[in-house]
Each structure stands twice: as C-alpha cells, then as structure tokens.
Amino acid sequence: MTTIDRSNYLKGLLILAKQDNKLVDSERNFIRTIAKDLGFSKDFYEETLRNLMANKYLKNDAFKFSSVEVAESFIKDGLKLALSDNTLAGNELSWLKQMAQTNSIADEKFEEFIKELDSQSKITPQD
C-alpha cells in the first residue's frame, strides 16, 4: 500500500466515524488498531481521535485509492467500523457506497460485502 493510500485509508475511516455525529469506544478502538497497522504513531492517532468531532477540515468528499484491492479492503473495514456500534446509520452506508462507486466497485460487490458482514453480526439499520 502506498503512503498516500495509507493516509487516505485512515482519513476515510475518520470521515466515516464522524458520519453519525458520535464517536464511541468501539469505533475508537477499531481506528486505533487500523492506524497502528498502517504505521501511524500513537501520538498522532490519539491526538486525531481526541479532536475528531471538532475537526472541520475532514471533508466528506469521496476519493480514489491506487487500486481496487485497496479500495475493497477499505470498504470492508469501513463496514466493520460502521457496525462496531451495532448500528449502520444511513449516512454511513451512503458515504461508503459513494466511496465504492468512486473506486469502481460494483453495487453488487458492495452488497456482497454487506451480506458477508450481516452473516457475521447483527445489523440494525438506522436513518
């Protein structure tokens, strides 16, 4: 994964976490794990998480990864993050779908990812 992909991956998860206007411990822990795996320093991601909800510079614009494989990995992790609080808010789902479309992931593939996760956990859709 390129440096830009790693940066965008974390940025995307942070944008997603803000979609429902709350940041719960399960989301924080999920982001911490991914940020650490991506090679970000603990100081950086802890500071970012502390100020996430007040960060007005994180825009909701979708962006493109360098490969479909990275984008698919992001979508899967994004769905896991969105479900980490046991709900899937409509705006979280919409943003992930926009990311999938921007990265040339077919709607059918996106739905397949949701069904895969749905079989592993209980999804409670929210508006």
Predicted local distance difference test score (pLDDT) of residue 126: 42
pLDDT digits (tens, 9 = 90+) for 38-93: 999 999 999 999 999 999 888 999 999 999 999 999 999 999 999 998 877 889 99
Task: Please answer whether residues 94 and 18 qualify as being in contact, where contact means their C-beta atoms are separated by less than 8 angstroms.
Answer: no
Question: How far is residue 81's CA from residue 73's CA, in Å, rounded to a whole number?
Answer: 12
The answer for residues whose C-beta is within 8 angstroms of residue 47's C-beta and 6 or more apart is none
The pTM of this model reads: 0.90
